A and B are shown apart, each in its own frame.
Chain A
């Protein structure tokens, strides 16, 4: 039973990292219906900025993390202003293609920096080990992930339900033309969405860095790994991203614990089911509930 609970808790912790990484994805989709394929690059840039500020500028890690989140938010804002603003009103596929191009450009730029090759670690800023309770153990970086996710979930829930800007974002997502006709600045909403997405991506990158070190490919891979999570939860749902992330995290943990062993027993080289299971879930979800668990089901009248 302890094993089961431990695997569950570990899965939830990893799921929270996915949720954090997926939030930016959802915010952009929620406000503009654009799928941001450069999400992984934002995660990597945020994490490396925090590293650079902490190690090269020698700022305290937490201050460096905060600054990196703000700077990555600024980068998101800049990207929207420079590349995406002029695409307002253009077909969504064009905008999506721009994000794919953006991912490639950001990749290339990162390769030109010292971060393009090798592994990096933040200076120690959390206690070693983890919290143990009844034989169940959670590491401090994992607790940080859970804490960050909870804070962002509460903040965004409030933001989208109560704040004028949040309601404007939802209005723009529903119908750009209608929102513009009642005075909502679509451009401002888009810029804000990209900025906040940058902020959450940086938070995710910093948490991943604290858990497993910084490596460009590893960080970018997290950005892609959240696809199943956000599709499962619903592309336009903030709570959906969190629930989807946690489900995927737990699924991975359980498949490593219980499925991989079975593969080994029947003579296959075991392991690796954790990499496959999220995409199996993704396929099943797309068959039966393409809008995800909490996504908005759009009905088009013909």
Chain B
């Protein structure tokens, strides 16, 4: 009898060992609610990459348990989801979303030492204090906007620029850096306007900016409001007079779908490869979208790419933590794996561009931006095509902390 019990117990143990251990990853973001046009595809990207990671056993001996939660862009929901996860699932890494919620959670994230990769690229997330565990997958919004201003300076000296931003911390993130960059470039910020969704008519806005002498409008927003402004500019004939451009969440397939041919000529700063390019990450994205029956809108969305990149970085860090720390995947080891992701150990999933030879994603203890390269792309014939090589904004480093 004793022998039988021991045999059963050993068989059970063997079964458990064969199945491996479970490690948790949490993403919470706006699958519904404001900015869900970004959050929906982003969440899908996280979800699909997690499924792929489990199928491919990217973390040997571990089963990845990815929890994807909808916070509806409500900070209290995000906080509740995060605290619940801390109590119950104890995720090894957290993939965050909105600027507001991430800024709010920053002290708590630091307190519990949770490595965090937010969708928001607000520079304040990686600026002190409480910034140790935050890692931006791509260059910050501020760097993207300053890079666009440098791009303007290549062709137009002393340009007059208007900023049109989302009425939120996400939108306002770039204003101070843009003002400082303008001073150094000899440009003038003629006006800063806040425009949210539901902008049914932008005539007054565009005429006011035209009257102020704006030659360029730089948007820091999501695609919906920008598309409405582009359509109104075309109707008023101001598209020929004022060149419009924007940071990463303004552009992509959503903008082209919403604005139609009014999007032609729009300039877009993005660190991601486009769907037309032959990059390993993009090829994987196409493959996974087909495999998991994602719609064409999701497949075409840069936000789907962005979600996959965030998940890829997180899962790679978990894998490296397991390798380096003898199968121990927790907040501390994942953090160590992230800050060791540089030099010959940099990560190259093929979703984002890079200015450094062969290095796509790298982090150190003090350098918490993954893909530092970005390109300017232009909407031509219904798709975005790159008009610059990948570059980093030298000026941004000067104006970041003057």
Let me know if B32 and A218 touch, CB within 8 A.
no
| A194-228 to B contact mask, C-beta < 8 Å, 1/0 | 00000000000000100111011110011001000
Let me know if A3 and B211 touch, CB within 8 A.
yes
Chain A residue numbers with a CB within 8 Å of B234 are: 128-129
Residue on B with the closest CB to A213? B258
Let me know if B172 and A269 touch, CB within 8 A.
yes
Chain A residue numbers with a CB within 8 Å of B231 are: 139
Residue on B with the closest CB to A221? B198
Given A117-B39, A130-B235, A213-B258, are A260 and B193 neighbors across the interface (CB < 8 Å)? yes
Given A111-B32, A118-B40, A261-B208, are A213 and B227 neighbors across the interface (CB < 8 Å)? yes
Let me know if A139 and B32 touch, CB within 8 A.
no
Contact check: which of B32, B33, B200, B235 meets A137 at CB < 8 Å? B235
**In this assembly, does B195 line the interface, its C-beta being within 8 Å of a C-beta of chain A?**
yes
Which of A3, A14, A111, A119 lies at the interface centre, i.e. has the most chain B CB atoms within 10 A of its CB? A119
Chain B residue numbers with a CB within 8 Å of A161 are: none
Chain B residue numbers with a CB within 8 Å of A163 are: none
Which of A128, A139, A212, A254 lies at the interface centre, i.e. has the most chain B CB atoms within 10 A of its CB? A212
Residue on B with the closest CB to A208? B200
Which residues A244-295 have CB closer than 8 A to chain B? 253-254, 256-257, 260-261, 264, 269-272, 275
**In this assembly, does B297 line the interface, its C-beta being within 8 Å of a C-beta of chain A?**
yes
Let me know if A271 and B211 touch, CB within 8 A.
no
Given A213-B227, A264-B191, A272-B194, are A118 and B297 neighbors across the interface (CB < 8 Å)? yes
Let me know if A275 and B258 touch, CB within 8 A.
no
**Shortest beta-carbon distance, B179 to chain A, in Å?**
10
**Shortest beta-carbon distance, A41 to chain B, in Å?**
14
**In this assembly, does A72 line the interface, its C-beta being within 8 Å of a C-beta of chain B?**
no
Contact check: which of A7, A121, A129 meets B203 at CB < 8 Å? A7
Bound together, the chains give a CA A104 to CA B335 distance in angstroms of 41
**In this assembly, does B346 line the interface, its C-beta being within 8 Å of a C-beta of chain A?**
no
**Shortest beta-carbon distance, A272 to chain B, in Å?**
4
Which residues A63-114 have CB closer than 8 A to chain B? 111, 114
**In this assembly, does A13 line the interface, its C-beta being within 8 Å of a C-beta of chain B?**
yes
| A170-196 to B contact mask, C-beta < 8 Å, 1/0 | 000000000000000000000000000
Bound together, the chains give a CA A269 to CA B208 distance in angstroms of 15
Residue on B with the closest CB to A215? B224
Let me know if B200 and A271 touch, CB within 8 A.
no
Residue on B with the closest CB to A136? B203
Given A212-B224, A217-B34, are A117 and B40 neighbors across the interface (CB < 8 Å)? yes
**Shortest beta-carbon distance, B332 to chain A, in Å?**
35
Given A7-B207, A217-B36, are A271 and B223 neighbors across the interface (CB < 8 Å)? no
Let me know if A119 and B201 touch, CB within 8 A.
no
Chain B residue numbers with a CB within 8 Å of A217 are: 33-34, 36, 197
Main secondary structure of the interface of B (DSSP, over half): helix
Given A3-B207, A212-B228, are A129 and B235 neighbors across the interface (CB < 8 Å)? yes
In this complex, how many residues of chain A approach chain B with their Cβ under 8 Å: the count is: 45
**In this assembly, does B205 line the interface, its C-beta being within 8 Å of a C-beta of chain A?**
yes
Given A225-B198, A264-B192, A269-B175, are A119 and B203 neighbors across the interface (CB < 8 Å)? no
Which of B191, B194, B198, B205 lies at the interface centre, i.e. has the most chain A CB atoms within 10 A of its CB? B198
Bound together, the chains give a CA A129 to CA B39 distance in angstroms of 31
Bound together, the chains give a CA A211 to CA B195 distance in angstroms of 16
Let me know if A218 and B201 touch, CB within 8 A.
no
Let me know if B201 and A215 touch, CB within 8 A.
no
Let me know if B32 and A119 touch, CB within 8 A.
no
Let me know if A260 and B208 touch, CB within 8 A.
yes
Chain A residue numbers with a CB within 8 Å of B235 are: 129-130, 137, 139
Let me know if A270 and B228 touch, CB within 8 A.
no
**In this assembly, does B13 line the interface, its C-beta being within 8 Å of a C-beta of chain A?**
no
**In this assembly, does B236 line the interface, its C-beta being within 8 Å of a C-beta of chain A?**
yes
Which residues B325-372 have CB closer than 8 A to chain A? none
Given A117-B36, A118-B36, A118-B40, are A275 and B204 neighbors across the interface (CB < 8 Å)? no
Let me know if A119 and B193 touch, CB within 8 A.
no
**In this assembly, does A60 line the interface, its C-beta being within 8 Å of a C-beta of chain B?**
no
Let me know if A212 and B208 touch, CB within 8 A.
no
Contact check: which of B31, B37, B40, B208 meets A257 at CB < 8 Å? B208
Of all A-B residue pairs in the complex, the 3 with the closest CB atoms, nearest first, are A117-B40, A271-B193, A271-B194
Pick 30 A–B contacts, CB within 8 A, sort by A. A3-B211, A10-B203, A10-B204, A14-B201, A116-B31, A117-B31, A117-B32, A117-B39, A118-B36, A118-B41, A118-B297, A119-B224, A119-B254, A128-B234, A129-B234, A129-B235, A137-B235, A212-B227, A213-B228, A215-B37, A215-B197, A217-B36, A218-B224, A253-B204, A257-B207, A260-B205, A269-B194, A271-B194, A271-B195, A275-B196
Q: A10-B204, A116-B31 are in contact. List 14 more A-B contacts (CB 8 A).
A: A6-B207, A129-B234, A139-B232, A212-B199, A212-B200, A215-B224, A216-B32, A221-B198, A253-B203, A254-B204, A256-B204, A256-B208, A270-B192, A271-B193
